[in-house]
Structure 1
Amino acid sequence: MSDPVTAPFGTWPSPITARHVASAQTTLAEVLQDRGDVCWIEGRPTEAGRQVLVRLGSDGKPVDVTPAPFSARTRVHEYGGGAALVSQGTVYFSNFADQRLYRMDDGVPVALTPPSEGAALRYADGLIDDRRRLWIGVREDHRASGGEAVNDIVAVRLDGGDAGSVIVQGSDFHASPRLSPDGTRFAWLAWNHPDMPWTAAELWLGDFDGTAITNATHIAGGKDESVFQPEWSPDGLLHYVSDRSGWWNIYRRNSDGTTTNLCPMAAEFGRAQWGFGMSTYAFVSAHELVCAYIEDGIGRLARLDARDGTLMPFDLPYTDYSSVRASGRKVVVKAGGPHVAAAVLVVDAATGDASVAWRSASVADDPALQGHVSVPRLIEFPTPRGGTAFALFYPPDNAGFRGPAGELPPLVVKCHGGPTSSASRSLDLRTQFWTSRGIAVVDVDYSGSTGYGRAYRDRLQGMWGVVDAEDCAAAASYLAASGQVDATRVVITGGSAGGFTALRCLTHEDPAIRACFRAGGSHYGVSDLTALAHDTHKFESRYLDWLVGPISDPQPYLDRAPVRHADRLEAPVAFFQGDEDRIVPPSQTEVMVAALRSRGIPTLYLLFAGEQHGFRQAPNIERALEAEAAFFQAEAFGRNAP
């Protein structure tokens, strides 16, 4: 190979184009397993974001299960998840267009639930009760006018014809229905406004006769305790994940009603439950589990002996694991790493041997892309409040080029959404789009992010728009002060809650924070906190109580809202928005755009038809990335890309 060509940072030619990013990287939503058959749900930007249930064929090749135009995607909580399941070879799924439940035995979807006007009845997170011929799961009912949707757990007959009979009700939210192996006991999660499931979810247990729950008992979770993913072991003991110790650990409810922490450690075996169907552990026998956890910011997969708490990590080249499913000792999991985008991994629980069944982006197999992948390193940096925060730093990397001596690269600061979420440890071609051009990226796990324990998450309580903004600016300052990036060419971008953090940094009352950034990008980001509190969907309608404070005290909402302080904004901003977004309506973005344009601030606004919260259509993904890159190049990086 010839020596690298010296060229200014930010101008390196790269084979990772916006079109490549949009078309080559499908999304992997969930991994499923049925009697050893490996299945998954993939989102296809080239099919307008259609989510397809796929099965691994006997020849090792993927086979589509759900036919076009059906899309296995639910709108419960708007974020969805848990849209499909496979049981004894039969497929059950929620179809995006009409939100009805469907069953597939012979390749033809047949509706189980009746139509509802405006897709008012939505279904998710189901299980199959074979004894009683029922689908049991969450139903979200929007039929009542003028009030909130109603979220219950219902039973739908497998012969179809009804909208479901309610078996669990009374809480604002329900999730994770779990039927015991003998079919007589039923467990579920519940929580109420203003809580979110990662702040105060409750675990309930009752007796079940096929039509009703009796003897319902609250057994874990509640104020200051989040419970996640209840599961029954094959011998009928209820397990769950709780953060009562300050970390999400796995607990067992013993036959005498006592509880045991199976493996006490400063690690996260749970996740923030943004979507249904999430799974971080699965049973391979009555006494053994395979579990995914995060320790020191890195994801791991291990076998756990429930009898003595022995944890045996597998030696695998991945750093991000989720959607863990098991059938006997065969485990399937969604996995990713520095060189591997989200992939379906098949693991032998006995030996740890693993093989990739399918991957969402085959960068490792594409000779044209090899040598253009930046491997991140976890950095810990000081924050203004005396603590430290974390981030993934991606230096520029392109085998064909290097920067001139004495020149430092520009920096893109990424703010993840949520804000109770985290930076992904899996390969993302959108990040590599920047780094392969000679532009560094830092993906900030600001205070409040998951993966570092409850105390770290709780830093964000009442402080959204404060500590997250401070941490993003601190990350940029840390990298600049340590001579790794050019402090004069730093931009900030984010989606949803991350878009708010980006806008907050650009309109901050502290001039030093504003001065860190030359330009910004907001992808369906929040700009008006008061409007968000009054104009969002049920799941997040009281989230701001925790993030900011009760709306009865409006001052913090006004102080932190970027749209209220557009007069402070001096940096150009690019806005990207879907016209069907119910989580952050277009009005949020358009008010901000108008405010900036009235002041003559360079502003880009792209509104995409048919997109909701997050872009799923390839042409729109491509256009947004190209437009943001051109905008940053012109307004902040100061060079013309080849």
Structure 2
Amino acid sequence: MATYGSWPTPITSELVVRAAAGLGGVSLHGDTVIWSELRPEEGGRTQLVRRTGDEPPVDLLPKDRNARTAVHEYGGGAWWVAGETVYFVDWADQRLYAVTGDSPPVPVTPEPKVPRGDRWANGCVASGGRWVLVVREHHPSGSGPAEVVNEIVVLDGTGEVAPRTLVTGPDFVSDPRVSPDGSRLCWLQWSHPDMPWDGTELCVADVQWADIGPTLADPRVIAGRPDAGPGGAGAGESVSAPRWAEDGSLWFISDRSDWWNLYRWDPGTDGVTCTVAVDAEIGLPQWVFGQSRFAFLSGGRTVFAFSRAGIDYLAMRLSDGRVVDLDVPYTSFASIQADGDRVVFVGASATVEPAVVSVRVETTGAVTATEILRPPRDLGLDVRLFSRPESISFPSSEGRTAHALFYPPTNPDVTAETGELPPLLVLIHGGPTSAARPMLQLGTQYWTSRGFAVVDVNYGGSTGYGRAYRNQLRHQWGIVDLDDCEAAARWLAEQQRVDPARLCIRGGSAGGYTTLAALAFRNTFAAGASHFGVADLEALATETHKFESRYLDGLIGHYPARRDLYLERSPIHHIDGFDRPLIVLQGLEDEIVPPNQAEMIVEALRAKGIPVAYVAFEGEQHGFRQAVNIRRALDAELSFYAQVFGFTLPAGERIDLVPVENL
């Protein structure tokens, strides 16, 4: 028998990062598949990997290159393929490069006047490969968010014609895509205070080609609309992921029916029709560029992923409009690509880490010829060690129902102490417009295999449950999210599945804010862990980057008109409410939540005498990418809980105790 929290487990922090690779985008061209891998053991850089036919996979980029863009700070869409050429943005200088075959990378964009002043993302290639249409985010010297300009620019791959702006004016643009016959260009645009999940516009323009490249004529909005009212009133239409079909029609995802479903624009009739209507989410919030949740198969078929009750599924729309489910053993899908009857995607399940998977799909919907192109790690673990998520729903404030994924403590080699209930970790995802991911994550199993219960809460405002659910957080950040996280913990305690005296809360970024707010304003939780969390909402509103510089208008209220709410809901201004232990983990190069936010709250708790631990990480931005820092963050948090709750750390792991002041 062993006390919950002290269970010995092979899922150590070293295993969490060993040979780990975060699989990102996928590209499929004929028998060649290219994908990206974020590698913590290589300093957190992103490598591109190519596999052709049955040949072994090969790395495409030299070891000093990192395919990562800083556009919107969150990035995504940092690379794309045209024939034999791969275009990618290098993290160091943010310039766009081209790689053909085994040749070294060649810069496509000029060196900016300001280091990293021109950032590129989300491009496509047209007219035989000469012209590259791409999003540029321009940062003038010493600029603040108001001076940053986002545009669609055309680049000449031969270098003969200087870069030229095609679309400018909106605060943000994305997804420039040229129709198969080259006659039209589509793109998405939106402006403050909207975020892309509030309201975007899908635009189409006629394209005329000349020696200087494309010029646009008759630009028009064919779908989407800005969110209505100051700060957003929930009446907008969020459109994403435009894709041209071979017949010249334009498909896209829209939430005009409350759910992010599939639609089609016919240039002949200039009409929009719904092609897939399900009470589930096909789309995702556009935090990053380049997400792909549907793709075209041969014979007028479309393959797509959708999320229902927190779990992903894969399906196919037939040419006659019927939808059939595809029998594949995964609960999470990303980066779906297709060619002919072949589908390639990143898939994961409750017991399998993400893998790059290839399948063949018959016209009947039968799935054949499954091949794992990039397998998950061989962890060498008994699958009985893995806690499998349960989709739960529970009552919350104002008669609402909230949702979560619950992971019970699981370890076949340990018997719990008689009569003891496990401590609970309430996970708060970032965003806050994001969602819990229904897939094997060793960072979660690290806790459940030690005897912690974990609940990953999809509080009101999360995606995956329709626009109305997403809009529950309108002007209610710091209220609805707290209510739902408390409700999840209390409901599980009432069900006698967790120890009501050992309820903990942890989260990163926006989840870190909810963690801090829960400790400042509520008394449900016995301890908390804030990973690069927001302590001062006013500072966030005035110091953050362009993409999120007006985000809080919709989450709280317009600043400075509603400065009272910013002060009222900022944990830093309510130190008197803190009386529970807290650990704070922070990257020192974070541009989204600057380190001073963490340091302010830590200093305040020190002065008040509240138990507090602070771990800062050199060289880390918003989220930890380096293996040594990921390990340190996990082990430091575990040692913090061990000291707070008085259980013994497993022998043999040699976990250093994090200093906890005032304990």
Same fold (TM over 0.5): yes
Aligned equivalent of 1:634:
643
Aligned equivalent of 1:181:
180
Q: 1:356 aligns with which of 372, 382, 385?
A: 372
Is residue 2:138 matched to residue 1:129? no
Is residue 2:256 matched to residue 1:253? no
Pairwise CA distance, 1:67 = 1.4
Aligned equivalent of 1:28:
23
Contact 2:31 2:53 in 1 (8 A): no
Partner of 1:341, secondary structure, is coil
Is residue 2:327 matched to residue 1:310? no
Aligned equivalent of 1:617:
626
Aligned equivalent of 1:110:
106
CA separation in 2, counterparts of 1:35 and 1:90? 14
Is residue 2:92 matched to residue 1:83? no
| CA gap 1:253/1:368 in 2 versus in 1, 3 angstroms | closer
Unpaired segments of 5 or more residues in structure 2?
228-235, 652-663
Contact 1:112 1:162 in 2 (8 A): no
Unpaired segments of 5 or more residues in structure 1?
1-5
Contact 1:242 1:248 in 2 (8 A): yes
Within 5 A, what are the aligned runs for 1:323-334?
323-334=335-346
CA separation in 2, counterparts of 1:262 and 1:288? 11
Deviation per CA, 1:229-275, whole angstroms, max 9, x where unpaired? 11111111011111001111100112311211112221111110000
Within 5 A, what are the aligned runs for 1:175-214?
175-209=174-208, 210-214=213-217
CA separation in 1, counterparts of 2:23 and 2:294? 18
Aligned equivalent of 1:606:
615
Deviation per CA, 1:397-430, whole angstroms, max 9, x where unpaired? 1111121232111111100000000001111000
Pairwise CA distance, 1:637 = 5.8
CA separation in 2, counterparts of 1:183 and 1:318? 37
Q: 2:223 aligns with which of 220, 230, 240?
A: 220
Greater alpha carbon shift after TM alignment, 592-601 vs 288-297 = 288-297
Alignment size in residue pairs:
628
| CA gap 1:300/1:163 in 2 versus in 1, 3 angstroms | farther
CA separation in 1, counterparts of 2:647 and 2:184? 64
Pairwise CA distance, 1:369 = 4.6
Within 5 A, what are the aligned runs for 1:31-180?
31-59=26-54, 61-107=56-102, 108-116=104-112, 117-131=114-128, 133-143=130-140, 145-146=142-143, 147-160=146-159, 164-180=163-179
Letter in 1 for 2:588: D
CA separation in 2, counterparts of 1:490 and 1:161? 63
CA separation in 2, counterparts of 1:85 and 1:34? 11
Contact 1:503 1:522 in 2 (8 A): yes
CA separation in 2, counterparts of 1:518 and 1:142? 44
Aligned equivalent of 2:465:
452
Pairwise CA distance, 1:26 = 1.6
Contact 1:11 1:640 in 2 (8 A): yes
Aligned equivalent of 1:440:
453
RMSD, matched Cα: 1.5
Aligned equivalent of 1:422:
435
Within 5 A, what are the aligned runs for 1:262-301?
262-285=275-298, 287-301=300-314
Letter in 2 for 1:196: M
Partner of 2:214, secondary structure, is coil
CA separation in 1, counterparts of 2:564 and 2:249? 49
Letter in 1 for 2:344: V
Contact 2:77 2:122 in 1 (8 A): yes
Partner of 1:170, secondary structure, is coil
Partner of 1:527, secondary structure, is coil
Deviation per CA, 1:459-517, whole angstroms, max 9, x where unpaired? 01100111001111110001010010111111110000000011111111xxxx32x21
| CA gap 1:286/1:550 in 2 versus in 1, 3 angstroms | farther
Aligned equivalent of 1:501:
514
CA separation in 1, counterparts of 2:623 and 2:380? 30
Letter in 1 for 2:335: S
Contact 2:310 2:436 in 1 (8 A): no
Contact 2:461 2:470 in 1 (8 A): yes
Partner of 2:444, secondary structure, is helix
CA separation in 1, counterparts of 2:30 and 2:153? 25
Pairwise CA distance, 1:60 = 5.2
Pairwise CA distance, 1:165 = 1.1
Give the TM-score of the pair, scaled to structure 2: 0.93
| CA gap 1:474/1:111 in 2 versus in 1, 3 angstroms | same
CA separation in 1, counterparts of 2:622 and 2:589? 8
Partner of 2:248, secondary structure, is coil
CA separation in 1, counterparts of 2:632 and 2:526? 22
Pairwise CA distance, 1:330 = 1.4
Greater alpha carbon shift after TM alignment, 390-399 vs 290-299 = 290-299
Contact 2:129 2:157 in 1 (8 A): no
| CA gap 1:617/1:261 in 2 versus in 1, 3 angstroms | same
Aligned equivalent of 1:320:
332
Partner of 1:119, secondary structure, is coil
CA separation in 2, counterparts of 1:636 and 1:308? 60
Deviation per CA, 1:356-391, whole angstroms, max 9, x where unpaired? 2214x42xx433453311111111011022111111
| CA gap 1:469/1:42 in 2 versus in 1, 3 angstroms | same
Contact 1:507 1:566 in 2 (8 A): yes
Letter in 2 for 1:193: H
Deviation per CA, 1:539-572, whole angstroms, max 9, x where unpaired? 0000000111101111111111111111110111
Contact 1:490 1:636 in 2 (8 A): no
Aligned equivalent of 1:3:
none
CA separation in 1, counterparts of 2:46 and 2:573? 38
Letter in 2 for 1:245: S
Contact 1:229 1:241 in 2 (8 A): yes
Contact 1:76 1:123 in 2 (8 A): yes
Letter in 2 for 1:602: P
Greater alpha carbon shift after TM alignment, 381-390 vs 365-374 = 365-374
Letter in 1 for 2:408: P
Pairwise CA distance, 1:640 = 4.3
Q: 1:243 aligns with which of 239, 243, 255?
A: 255
Aligned equivalent of 1:411:
424
Pairwise CA distance, 1:82 = 0.5
CA separation in 1, counterparts of 2:615 and 2:295? 43
Greater alpha carbon shift after TM alignment, 128-137 vs 243-252 = 128-137
Aligned equivalent of 2:654:
none
Partner of 2:197, secondary structure, is helix
Letter in 2 for 1:87: A
Greater alpha carbon shift after TM alignment, 598-607 vs 532-541 = 598-607
Q: Give aligned-pair identity as a percent.
A: 46
| CA gap 1:58/1:131 in 2 versus in 1, 3 angstroms | closer
CA separation in 1, counterparts of 2:55 and 2:16? 25
Pairwise CA distance, 1:163 = 6.5
Letter in 2 for 1:483: Q
Within 5 A, what are the aligned runs for 1:336-347?
336-347=348-359
Partner of 1:262, secondary structure, is strand
Aligned equivalent of 2:5:
10
Pairwise CA distance, 1:321 = 0.9
Letter in 2 for 1:114: P
Pairwise CA distance, 1:30 = 1.4
Aligned equivalent of 2:408:
395
